[in-house]
């Protein structure tokens, strides 16, 4: 039986929690990481109607983009619809997990999906990119325990390099030590110099796994005091960041591009912020969600148009004054995550033999109606 923790562990190889923006409440929202999963539902938002849909479909795990708990609950008054929703989730044993800005920052995640909808080419990260911090552990293990330690480290998440898993390197040699009077040696006798045939196992892992990797190493290592080295690795981590910028296949006018966005994002209306709708454009920046404040990054990347949601009145004036054009198709275009997350979880379901059913919410959670 597959539980939430196993599914989340695989997802967080794709979009680690520490890639989220500071203060973003990603991760477990409600429920238990040990919840057995028979049916998983992906959704953009966790709203009462979405929870009712999950209950109707016997879902036991909701995986959402937007966190259900942005703010702490001060009083659990069930007259409040959101609190009643939490009560229903608990009552029906449904666990909720959210991947928000870590999914926005992930390579192959939200902003790549949006750029893909617009068929942008030669895309690059829009906001200043970041680099994952990597460490390398070199641990010395007696030969007859080497396979056990190596397998435990890779199971804990070490040994992932790009698209390769279970990566490690072994060097054989001789370890020497003299157990002192208060020692409890696995090999050798007190106060006697000892030589042991050992393997030096080297594995690379992300900094956010440091505590887990070290706990694992100590738990499975046969020595009372494991010998190991730990090194930072420079300029080798995955580069990630928010937003994308790239080129359209063909030049369009701003008016033509606005119609193109309506078709691609399946929206009936959008807002255009421009001084000249007839101007021809080709280079497009896009950032899912509420990204008006980052229009200067679109300028820095020499974009002709910036596509994002929730542009405010005064920011719109600033965008026009800067010479940039902006398209605001709304926050809800992030619904692209539903089919894409379903695709990912179905892929992993087949790869790891989870035997879970994966569905996407059919509820439209866009709060806006245009009349």
In the three-class reduction of DSSP (H, G, I as helix; E, B as strand; rest coil), residue 25 is classed as coil
**Which residues are within 8 A (CB) of 208 and not within 5 positions of it... i.e. 6 or more apart?**
16, 17, 18
- Give the angle 361-366-368 at the CA atoms, nearest 5°: 160
Query: Residue ranges for the binding site?
Result: 65-66, 104, 331, 334
Average confidence (pLDDT) per 10 residues, the chain, 371 residues: 95 93 96 97 98 98 95 88 95 98 98 98 97 95 97 94 88 96 94 96 94 97 96 86 98 98 97 98 98 98 98 98 98 98 98 97 95 88
Which pLDDT value is given to residue 284?
98
Counting every residue written for the chain, the total comes to: 371
> Where would I find the beta strands (DSSP E) of the chain?
27-30, 39-43, 61-64, 95-98, 121-125, 130-131, 134-142, 169-177, 194-206, 227-233, 239-240, 244-253, 271-273, 280-290, 305-309, 325-328, 357-360
In the three-class reduction of DSSP (H, G, I as helix; E, B as strand; rest coil), residue 36 is classed as strand
Q: Which residue's entry shows tokens 């370890």?
A: 175
In this chain, the answer to whether the domains covering 119-129+242-329 and 133-233 adopt an identical fold is no
Query: Residue ranges for the binding site for a divalent metal cation?
Result: 65-66, 104, 331, 334
Is CATH 3.40.80.10 the right assignment for the domain spanning 133-233? no
Residues pairing with 306 in the sheet: 285, 326
**Which residues are within 8 A (CB) of 186 and not within 5 positions of it... i.e. 6 or more apart?**
142, 222, 223, 224
Sign of torsion over alpha carbons 365, 369, 370, 371: positive
Distance between first and last Cα of the chain: 49
Which pLDDT value is given to residue 161?
83
* Cα 160 to Cα 134, 135, 166, distances in angstroms: 10, 11, 6
**Which residues are within 8 A (CB) of 263 and not within 5 positions of it... i.e. 6 or more apart?**
none
Which pLDDT value is given to residue 365?
97
- Give the angle 158-162-164 at the CA atoms, nearest 5°: 65
pTM value is 0.87
Which pLDDT value is given to residue 165?
87
The CATH architecture of the domain made up of 4-106+335-360 is 3-Layer(aba) Sandwich (3.40)
Fold category of 119-129+242-329 in CATH: 3.40.1390
All structural domains of the chain with their residue ranges = 4-106+335-360, 119-129+242-329, 133-233
């Amino acid at each position: 039986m597959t539980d939430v923790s196993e599914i989340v562990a695989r997802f967080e190889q794709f979009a680690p929690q520490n890639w989220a923006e500071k203060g973003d409440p990603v991760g477990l929202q409600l429920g238990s990481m040990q919840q057995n999963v028979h049916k998983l539902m992906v959704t953009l938002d966790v709203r009462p109607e979405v929870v009712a849909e999950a209950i109707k479909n016997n879902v036991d795990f909701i995986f959402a983009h937007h966190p259900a708990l942005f703010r702490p609950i001060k009083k659990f008054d069930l007259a409040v619809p959101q609190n009643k929703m939490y009560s229903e989730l608990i009552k029906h044993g449904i666990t909720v997990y959210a991947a928000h800005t870590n999914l926005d920052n992930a390579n192959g995640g939200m902003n790549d999906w949006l750029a893909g909808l617009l068929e942008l080419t030669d895309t690059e990260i829009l906001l200043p990119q970041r680099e994952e911090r990597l460490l390398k552990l070199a641990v010395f293990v007696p030969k007859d325990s080497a396979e056990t330690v190596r397998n435990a480290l890779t199971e804990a998440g070490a040994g992932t390099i790009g698209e390769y898993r279970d990566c490690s390197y072994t060097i054989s040699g001789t370890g020497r030590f003299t157990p002192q009077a208060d020692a409890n040696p696995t090999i050798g006798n007190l106060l006697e110099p000892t030589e042991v045939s050992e393997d030096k196992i080297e594995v690379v892992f992300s900094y956010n796994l440091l505590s887990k990797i070290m706990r694992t190493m100590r738990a499975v290592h046969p020595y009372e005091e494991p010998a190991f080295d730990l090194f930072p690795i420079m300029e080798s981590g995955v580069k990630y960041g928010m937003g994308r910028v790239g080129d359209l296949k063909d030049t369009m006018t701003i008016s033509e591009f606005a119609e193109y966005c309506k078709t691609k994002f399946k929206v009936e209306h959008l807002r255009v912020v421009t001084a000249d709708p007839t101007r021809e454009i080709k280079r497009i920046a896009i950032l899912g969600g509420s990204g008006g404040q980052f229009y200067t990054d679109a300028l820095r990347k020499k974009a002709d148009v910036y596509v994002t949601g929730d542009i405010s009145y005064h920011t719109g004036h600033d965008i026009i004054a800067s010479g940039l054009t902006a398209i605001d198709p709304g926050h809800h275009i992030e619904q692209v995550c539903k089919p894409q997350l379903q695709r990912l979880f179905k892929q992993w379901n087949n790869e790891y033999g989870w035997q879970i059913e994966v569905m996407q919410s059919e509820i439209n959670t866009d709060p806006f109606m245009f009349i």
